[in-house]
């Protein structure tokens, strides 16, 4: 049973397109996150939701829009994709927004051509 799952695993698309990445967790956690890992493996948080409420919104282009339809799902929509958006995007979840450890999904490798 996969705890945190993401779809798709790979995404190859052209510049200017709009795409979405979906994330689901079956751990019953209240808090979910999106991270971006660049080609140098640097990992940076983008967004976090707690009980469907946005609690972390880093300096991310407004082409990126998260959406949490319920506590178990956090999707990431990206408009007008650019070359620099190429990266691995990780979803994660934690029991709460305190000091709990985070559980990461397998990642979605986005390649923008």
For the segment 52-111, give every residue that binds other proteins (CB under 8 A).
55-56, 90, 92, 94, 96-107
Distance of CA 105 to the CA centre of its chain: 9
> Residue 63 forms beta bridges with which residues?
none
| Cβ-based nearer residue to other proteins, 14 or 42 | 42
Q: Nearest CA to 11 among 94, 90, 88? A: 88
Of 48, 76, 87, 110, the one binding other proteins (CB under 8 A) is 48
Burial class (CB in 10 A: 0-12, 13-18, 19+), 74: buried
| Cβ-based nearer residue to other proteins, 7 or 104 | 104
Q: Applying CB under 8 A, does 31 fall inside the site for other proteins?
A: yes
Of 19, 22, 45, 52, the one binding other proteins (CB under 8 A) is 45
Of 26, 44, 80, 82, the one binding other proteins (CB under 8 A) is 44
| Three-state DSSP state, 26 | coil
Q: What is the rounded CA–CA span in Å between residue 85 and residue 9?
A: 16
| Cβ-based nearer residue to other proteins, 75 or 108 | 108
| Three-state DSSP state, 75 | strand
Applying CB under 8 A, the residues found at the interface with other proteins are: 4, 31, 40-45, 48, 50, 55-56, 90, 92, 94, 96-107
């Amino acid at each position: 049973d996969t705890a945190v799952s993401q779809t798709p695993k790979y995404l190859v698309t052209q510049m200017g397109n709009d795409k979405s990445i979906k994330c689901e967790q079956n751990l019953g956690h209240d808090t979910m996150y999106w991270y971006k890992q660049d080609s140098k493996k640097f990992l940076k948080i983008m967004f976090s939701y707690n009980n469907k409420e946005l609690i972390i919104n880093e300096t991310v282009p407004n082409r990126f829009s998260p959406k949490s339809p319920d506590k178990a799902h956090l999707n990431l929509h990206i408009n007008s994709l650019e070359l620099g958006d190429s990266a691995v995007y990780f979803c994660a979840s934690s029991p709460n927004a305190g000091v709990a450890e985070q559980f990461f999904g397998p990642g979605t490798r986005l390649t923008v051509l």
